[in-house]
Chain A
Amino acid sequence: MEKKKDIIVCRCEELTEQEVRDTIRRFNLRTANEVKRLTRAGMGLCQGRTCEPLIKRIMAEETNRKVSEMLPLTKRPPTRPINIKFLAEEGEGEVE
């Protein structure tokens, strides 16, 4: 178990497995979304593509449930990072 402390589960936000487990235990969390909100896991550039399955697996272990019972992270648009300038010119023809 000691080895697990430094394993990064969310690369974007540089979050370790131990930090995730500590947060789940401290607040008796039950959903992956709560982990996201309190630790920023899944809030980075990739929006949870890497860490979501890991968070769900940790949550399942911590709460003695199956991974298939875990609710998914809320998906927020856009699906990929998008330039602010592009958003600002939406529907205005040619992009400068």
Chain B
Amino acid sequence: MNKIAEVVVIGGGVIGCSIAYYLAKKGVKVIVVEKREGLCLGASGANQGACPVQLFESPVLELVKESVKLYKGLSEAIEYDIEYQNTGSLLCSVDEEQYPDMEKHVQRICRSGVNARLIEGNELRELEPTLGKDVIVGVEEQDSGMVNPFKVNYGLAHAAGKLGAEFLLSAEVSKIEINKDKVTSVVTDRGEIKTNFVVNAAGAWSPAIGAMLGLTIPIRPRRGQIIVTEPVPLNKRWRYIIDADYLTIAFDVEAAEKSQDARMKLGVAGSYVQENTGNWTIGSSRDFVGYNNQVTMPTVKYLAKRVIEFMPRFKDVNCIRTYAGLRPFCYVDGLPILSKVDNAAGFVIATGHAGEGVALAPITGKLISELITENRTSLPIDAFAFSRFKSAKTKSS
């Protein structure tokens, strides 16, 4: 069965569905193609739903800030509660050697306009009795938030559907047709769709879509493992607590790989989020094992060890579930790719969000919809251009 669309979005995760929603809002006829039987089945459904503001520097910080703003109004806009909450966050350390880094960190983020302050260990424990005696210092920040990623994904898709977007599930893309350097159609095992625009929002699977046009998209699947606990009483002050090691491990792949420490090697840095239900998700980890999304015992062990260092109460809490997701990580510079492509007019890339896909979904949808309909964006996206990879070449057809 053949169809016609103005834009075909490949990928039914938070990024693809957000793009579909923002395009549909502008009256654009969109078809979302998803190879799996439902939405939100990749990294979008295997994360902690956190939108951290204090972890990023420019140029990603500007996107995160704007995205959090969009999240604030999203439930109302799509008439569905995505469970957005402004929780703030606490980044803290159990390592005395990190104290000077924490001072630098708070100065840096304050300079970039984030409302943050440094708090000493004893005051931290007064404010949040669940924190252990090893926590020496923390940086509190008030802009971060959390959402329910499944509800974001399905809520955006549903809202897009009401505005005319179509969803083609269990449909795998086999080919993208090009004529005179312009995209003309997308071929799937459920039929062909004639279109002038194709958005590659396939996350960790985006390189395979790029390869159909001879493009090398420098993305590798990065596995992240997470433990879920039984519900426990809500924390008094902070329900989003981050290990200061996150600043190094998450953003410096080489440092983690070269480390002699077993935990560092597995890319384990604490990221703890307590949901409204009282359940905690305990992350985070990062390793590169192809498309294997299994949970592994060594990583779970170090996630468990680490959380007990920060909050000893976890010794007596049960793990009820574990899961892992494959995040699209740009191995050149770790930044997202939000870009058109030379020599393939109509092909747009929106991937490389690594662990920040949920946090960046609204702003990505908004910017990509602007890029397609107006050929300009309300925030600068030059830093995310595909042309930054000099070695990447298009196969002329």
Contact = CB atoms under 8 A, between A and B. Distances in A.
B229 A87 contact: no
A17 interface: no
A40 to B, nearest CB: 7
Nearest to A96: B315
Contacts of A34: 38-39, 154
A38 interface: yes
Given A44-B320, A81-B230, A82-B318, A88 B154 contact: no
A43 to B, nearest CB: 7
Interface in A48-84: 71, 76-78, 81-84
Interface string A1-33: 000000000000100000000000011011101
B229 A84 contact: yes
Interface string B212-252: 00000000000000011110000000000000000000000
A94 interface: no
Contact of A78 (B154, B279, B307, B322): B322
B40 A37 contact: yes
A37 B150 contact: yes
A58 B136 CA distance: 52
A13 B231 CA distance: 10
A38 B229 contact: no
A81 B38 contact: no
B213 to A, nearest CB: 32
Nearest to B321: A76
A77 B323 CA distance: 8
A13 B321 CA distance: 15
Interface stretch (B24-32, B100-108, B296-304, B354-362): B296-304
Contact of B277 (A30, A40, A77, A87): A40
A interface: dominant SS: loop
Contacts of A77: 295, 321-322
Question: Majority SS of interface residues in chain B?
Answer: mixed
A83 B158 contact: no
Contacts of A84: 227, 229, 282, 304, 307-308, 314-319
A90 B277 CA distance: 28
Contacts of B316: 83-85
A81 B301 contact: no
Nearest to B308: A88
Given A31-B37, A81-B318, A83-B318, A45 B230 contact: yes
Interface size grouping (class) on chain A? 20 to 34
Nearest to A74: B323
Contacts of A90: 297, 300-301, 304
A91 interface: yes
A45 B321 CA distance: 9
B297 A31 contact: no
A43 B281 CA distance: 12
Contacts of A81: 230, 318-320
A31 B38 contact: yes
Contacts of A71: 37
A34 B158 CA distance: 14
B138 interface: no
Nearest to A34: B38
B38 A76 contact: no
27 contacts: A13-B277, A27-B154, A31-B38, A33-B38, A34-B38, A37-B45, A43-B279, A45-B230, A47-B320, A71-B37, A76-B322, A76-B323, A77-B295, A77-B322, A78-B320, A83-B315, A83-B317, A84-B229, A84-B282, A84-B304, A84-B314, A84-B319, A85-B304, A87-B301, A88-B301, A88-B304, A88-B315
Sorted from nearest, which 7 A-B pairs have the closest CB atoms? A88-B304, A81-B318, A87-B304, A85-B315, A37-B150, A88-B305, A76-B321
Interface of A: 13, 26-27, 29-31, 33-34, 37-38, 40, 43-45, 47, 71, 76-78, 81-85, 87-88, 90-91
Interface of B: 37-40, 45, 150-151, 154, 157-158, 169, 227-230, 277, 279, 282, 295, 297, 300-301, 303-305, 307-308, 314-323
